A and B are shown apart, each in its own frame.
Chain A
């Protein structure tokens, strides 16, 4: 597809075109002005500072892997001098004095920060009428909300309101919005990217890049890490995917309520990877109700620990949904939490053992096409929406969602690839082979192309 706006280029294409930072930034800001009143991807836009920064970059020597690239951050990641709200009234006026480490690293790589992106309040609530900023819409169908919690980042990247973003993922919150918005989202190996200055739960959360191509995700990952991590060696590129052992879920391990169009796209992704040479075998036991249970217990216990004091002092400053979500952990016992941590150790060992016989696991990313399906009360309470993603927050493995098709109604579908812990670059190499052999990443939503969607 012909790209009609510089803001829809990939970072690599923009760098190859040698485009001035000021031109890229002005184009992105113009699009935010035009589209964000509908999409609600941003909580705060920093147009003045971004414009000044871009001009300063144009007057300096080109250096840094993200030189002049407009990026955004989920608004639970601290930015010095730019308010950081977590989409909560309790932080409505908080302007951090220091950057989160990942923000400082992206600035050092030459990125231009255009603003802070919308999210479910503190990443653990459902959008509601009393949110500080209304919930982001899916750019492929604005009558539908975007799946969260890094929904603003997924929406902004897909609509060309930034080139790349950093979100956070504690159960799927980078991968699910990426799948739902037709872009690429990576949850790196646990701890690969520093969490200083980021709101999240320490045992499960990771900062993760969202971008329009796997190559761009790799760039943002490397820049956010501050230096290229040590796990860069790919499988033998000479053999294509012929050296890759791919583990897939047998039909019997797919939940009964997975959307049939997602099951079909998953089956086609398996066949595509086979055509590329991957050796496919069934792997059982990955999807586990017990793993989902352990994630729920750890997430709620640690979320409450982070908010207990302010929930007592200023409950009225939290939205109604966040108040319920963040309070649940108060009703767990210490033994519940310890049992969950012990299960996490056993589950991680089980996943490690699977990676002795496969190099990559393939699953659907999301079981549902829309946020509305994922947020049905019964589905949400049993953790139905993150059934494929949250197990890898428990085990700490790197996991990436890549575009894998579209529904008949035109909504994007993603598949998730997972690798051994610390093999993030190997994982991205496999994902890139799939991406380049399929057409899905070349499509843009009509609203991003200037049409009526």
Chain B
């Protein structure tokens, strides 16, 4: 996500979650959330297809029948 997309995402979720945050806090939070989502992205599996339970994360041998 771009910085602007993160900024919009943070404002949108904050509104939905009823979090009362000032503009300067939303700006600081956008920076922190961008970092956090970069951390989270390192953990996401990179499979082309869904994997059943017990399959090693990233196992590319699993494919639709």
Give me the interface of A with B, judged by CB distance under 8 Å: 289-290, 292-294, 296-297, 300, 308, 311-312, 315, 320, 323-325, 327-328, 330-333, 335-336, 339-340, 342-343, 346, 381-383
Main secondary structure of the interface of A (DSSP, over half): helix
Given A312-B19, A312-B20, A381-B35, A327–B40 Cβ distance below 8 Å? Answer: no
Would you give the shortest CB distance from B25 to chain A, in whole angstroms? 7
Instruction: Let me know if B32 is at the binding interface, CB within 8 A.
Output: yes
B63 at the interface (CB under 8 A from A): no
Candidates B9, B17, B35, B57; contact of A382 at CB < 8 Å: B35
Q: Assess whether A289 is in contact with B42, with CB atoms less than 8 Å apart.
A: yes
Flag if A324 contacts B36 (CB, 8 Å).
no
Contact flags B1-30 to A (C-beta < 8 A → 1, else 0): 000000001100110011111000100110
How far is B39's CA from A383's CA once the two chains are assembled, in angstroms? 10
A340 and B40: CB pair below 8 A?
yes
Report yes or no: B25 in contact with A330, Cβ–Cβ below 8 A: no
* B62 within 8 Å of A (CB atoms): no
Cβ–Cβ contact A324 & B32, under 8 A: yes
Determine chain B's interface SS by DSSP, over half rule: helix
Q: Are B19 and A328 in contact (CB under 8 A)?
A: no
When A and B form their complex, which 8 residue pairs have the shortest distance between CB atoms, in order from nearest?
A: A293-B39, A339-B43, A336-B40, A381-B35, A293-B42, A296-B39, A331-B33, A312-B18
CA distance A331 to B37 in the complex (A): 8
> Which single residue of chain B is at the shortest CB-CB distance from A312?
B18
* Known A297-B40, A331-B36: A320·B13 in contact at CB below 8 Å: no
Contacts of B35 in A (CB 8 A): 381-382
The answer to whether B43 and A336 touch across the interface, beta carbons within 8 angstroms, is yes
Contact B43 A315 (CB under 8 A): no
Task: Report if B65 contacts A (CB, 8 A).
Answer: no
Taking a contact as CB atoms under 8 Å apart, the answer to whether B36 and A300 are in contact is yes
A312/B43 contact (C-beta < 8 A), A331-B33, A382-B35 known: no
Known: A293-B40, A381-B35. A315 touches B19 (CB 8 A): yes
Asked if B10 contacts A340 (CB within 8 A), the reply is no
| Distance to closest chain A CB from B36 (angstroms) | 5
B2–chain A nearest beta-carbon distance, Å: 15
B42 contacts A290, C-beta separation under 8 Å: yes
